[in-house]
Every structure is written in structure tokens, then in C-alpha cells.
Structure 1
Amino acid sequence: MEDVIRIVIVEDHDLTRMGLEAALQRREGISVIGEAANGIQGLKLLTSEKPDVAIVDIGLPDMDGIEMLRRFREYSAEAEPATKILMLTMHKGEDSVMAAFAAGADAYCMKDISMDKLEEAIRSTHDGNPWIDPTIASIVLQQVRQKEVVAAPETEKTVQIKALDAEYEEIVGNAGLTDREIEILQLIVRGYSNAEIAETLFVTVGTIKTHVRHILNKLCVDDRTHAAVLALRAGLIE
């Protein structure tokens, strides 16, 4: 029998919070065990209930979700297994995105995400695979580039970035992806779920799952997010 994913929601807008709870409770294998309307309540809830995944809004009234997350990570540094944190927000600026990950976020989703994609993000996050909303993937990609480029004059940095991009392009080029697999990878980058890809391409979900597994194996990555970032980095997907 599949383990139930225990969820806590920290969101100050009552209708949003109640809507999320009602929608998630109808999903098989997911149980909402608590909710909070501000950071103080959320911090107490996370430390007392120790959920598997916490869905946290950034724009909380007393302390923002990033500060709440930072305090929770400091408090529960030794706790095992650690609660996974999924940020669900309207904030997509670079400062918010990178601050959330620096504070210990495991996933970052925009509030206009569909319930199917949110469920996918929750399950992926719970399994230990980071989930990043496609709309902010470029921000993460930019940060990856900056970390990989050593301190150097600006002209040298440009050369290094081009060299790294060429290296990733070679990796993807040598992966031997079929036209169909590239088409599916394009849809993954755009944030489509397996069900949505299947509907778009008029095939079964099982067929798409098989294609996705082949894509991950060929690119030597563990999850869809890493495959998408690699494709973006190699210039395969515009």
C-alpha cells in the first residue's frame, strides 16, 4: 500500500488555503494534516506535526515565508527525515527565487499552476527530486552559469560561458534523442505534465512515461527538471 504524503499548508489568504486543502484532500495518497494563516502559526505547525511536505506562501503577513523557512531549517537541522518545503507564490523575481533556495526550499511553484502539476510537484519534492516552475527555470539556469564560471575579467567569463554551453550542447547532441523525444522534452520545458503531453500528442500516458524514462536515461539525469535545465543550457530548447 502506497504511503500517504502528509501535507501542511501555510497561506494567509483564506480562500486560497481552503481551496488548496479541499483540492488536495481529493488526491489519492495525499492528506492535509494542518494549515496556518501566518508565519508564526506555520512555524509552530511545522515543528509540531513534522509533515512530509509543507506548501508555503512567501507573502505572509507577520514574517515572510522565506524567513519562516530559514528559522525552521535552523530549528530542525538535526531532524530526520526532514520536511520538504514547496514554495507556492506569485513572486518570480530573481531575489525571491534565489533567497528561497538559499533558505532551504526544495521546490518553487507559481500560484497559477494547475492542480495536476501541483500534485506532480508535491510527489517529486517528496521523493527528493527538486521541482522548479518552468517560468523561473531561466533564473536558476543563470545562477548555475554564474557558479560554474570562475572569477575572471568579463571577456574571459564570456569565453567560459560559451565553452560551457558548447560542452552541454555536445552532451545533448551525443545523447541520440529521437525527434519524438525532443518534441516531448520541449513540452516538459514548457511545464506540461505527462497527461497533458499525452493529450497533446494523441498517445497514452504510459507511452509518454516510457519516452520520458528514455530521455532521462539518455541525458544521464535523475528527473524532469534536470533534463529541462540541460536542454535549455545546450540551446536545444529556446
Structure 2
Amino acid sequence: MKDLLIVDLQDATSIGINTIARQCNIFSSISEGIDKTSIVHFLKNHSDGVVIVDYTMVDLSEEYLIVLHARYPKACFILFSDSLVTDFIKRLVYFSTCFSFILKDSSRKEIESGLKDVSLMKQFICEKVTNQIAQADSDKHEAEPSLLTSTEREILRLMALGKSTKDIASIRFSSVYTVMTHRKNIFRKLSVNNVHEATKYAMRAGIVDPMEYYI
């Protein structure tokens, strides 16, 4: 069982999460903090712990969260707030599965599900945030014509899902040489040098569903 730190300056919210977490009976200990220092102190003693924090109240930037993840790679973070900026969500969702998202108006059942998933090292994204990401990707896709052909988009999707060139050739009934040519064209059109960079484009463009990618 993992240890949990709750960092939220709103007493009602902090007490509510504390109560729900205790009733779930899935954490070894539950403590509360008030700032960045509280988080660092907690992680020094519980490097694989879970931190649920309203990042807007303690002024946690994306860069600071990434630094914390680098220092404590086994720790998990639940970003918990009244509202979340879509670009902020997407960057952290795609950066690491250690970042999960729950809104303060989420149902008790959804909060419980999030706490349970994260305690098991699973990423959790509440329904409203999932819809927020999907809508943003849809709007961007409609606003910007794709740089890639339909065939290239499908090959990029398969690449992002971890399929090898040989696998893709088999799936598409094509030769390995043909797939390699498409791969080179995809990299050239997107101005990227590797599959990791191409995958990030695929997610931003809505070619790959984040949930599909992390399964």
C-alpha cells in the first residue's frame, strides 16, 4: 500500500478527499501539506507515494512537476482543480503516465476510482478531462489540414502503437520496403527524427487516442 499526501488550501476539499481516501482503505498513511516544500519533504520519505494537489493553489508549474517526476520516478501525481488548461493537461498526459487528472466537481465514485487506479500505478483521467482533450484534438484536426495522406496517417498510428515495420507491412499487406518509404516520408513531412517525436505529433493531431496508446 502506498502513502498519500493531500495538498489543497481549501479546507472543505482537503477534508473531503481525506475522508474518501480513508474510506477506500487503500493507503498506508494519509497526510496533508500546504506548499511545494510539503511535497518535496513527503517524497523524500515516500519516494513511491501519491500526491494529490491543486496545482493552481500552490503555484506548481509544468516544469516543476516534470522535475519532481525526474527526481521521484516512482511517485504518482493527481492534479486536482476546479478547471484545468487543456494544453497543460495534454503535455503532462503525453509526458508520463504518472500524471492523472480529476476535477473538483467529479463525482465521489469517480474520485474513488481515480484514487484506486493511481494507488495501483495506473493513470486516471476523469471523464470531463477526457472529453476536454478529445474536443481540443477534434477542433485542431478540423482547423488544420493534415500534412499526411490517409495511408501515412494509418501507418503513423500503427507506429505510435508500437508496431514494427514488419508488423505494419503484414497488417497492410504491403512490402517492408513500401512501409519504410512511407516512414521516411512521414518523418520528412513532420520534420521529426524518430518514432517518439512522430508519436507526439500523432497524439496532438488526434491520430492516436491517448487511452489506446497507454493500454
Give your verdict on TM over 0.5.
yes
Matched residue, 1:8: 5
**Partner letter of residue 127 of structure 2?**
P
Q: 2:57 aligns with which of 48, 56, 60?
A: 60
Moved >6 Å (runs of 4+): 142-145
**Partner letter of residue 108 of structure 1?**
F
Unaligned runs of 5+ in 2: 159-209
Matched residue, 2:211: 226
Q: Quick one: distance in 2 between partners of 1:116 and 1:51?
A: 24
Matched residue, 2:75: 83
Q: Quick one: distance in 2 between partners of 1:84 and 1:101?
A: 12
Per-residue Cα deviation, 1:187-234 (whole angstroms, up to 9, x for no partner): xxxxxxxxxxxxxxxxxxxxxxxxxxxxxxxxxxxxxx837x99xxxx
Matched residue, 1:199: none
**Partner letter of residue 95 of structure 1?**
D
**Partner letter of residue 130 of structure 1?**
Q
Corresponding position: 1:118 with 2:111: yes
Q: Quick one: distance in 2 between partners of 1:143 and 1:155?
A: 15
| Contact 2:43–2:49 (CA under 8 A) maintained in structure 1 | no
Matched residue, 2:87: 95
Deviation at 1:108, TM superposition (A): 0.9
Deviation at 1:23, TM superposition (A): 2.5
Distance 1:158 1:140, change over 3 A: farther
Deviation at 1:13, TM superposition (A): 1.8
Deviation at 1:54, TM superposition (A): 1.6
Matched residue, 2:185: none
Distance 1:10 1:159, change over 3 A: same
| Contact 1:121–1:131 (CA under 8 A) maintained in structure 2 | yes
Corresponding position: 1:71 with 2:71: no
Deviation at 1:102, TM superposition (A): 5.7
The count of aligned residue pairs is 158
**Partner letter of residue 88 of structure 1?**
F
Matched residue, 1:190: none
Deviation at 1:93, TM superposition (A): 2.3
Q: Quick one: distance in 2 between partners of 1:141 and 1:92?
A: 14
**Partner letter of residue 20 of structure 2?**
A
Q: 1:33 aligns with which of 5, 30, 51?
A: 30
Unaligned runs of 5+ in 1: 169-224, 231-238
Deviation at 1:96, TM superposition (A): 2.4
Corresponding position: 1:22 with 2:15: no
* Seq. identity, %: 15
**Partner letter of residue 75 of structure 2?**
T
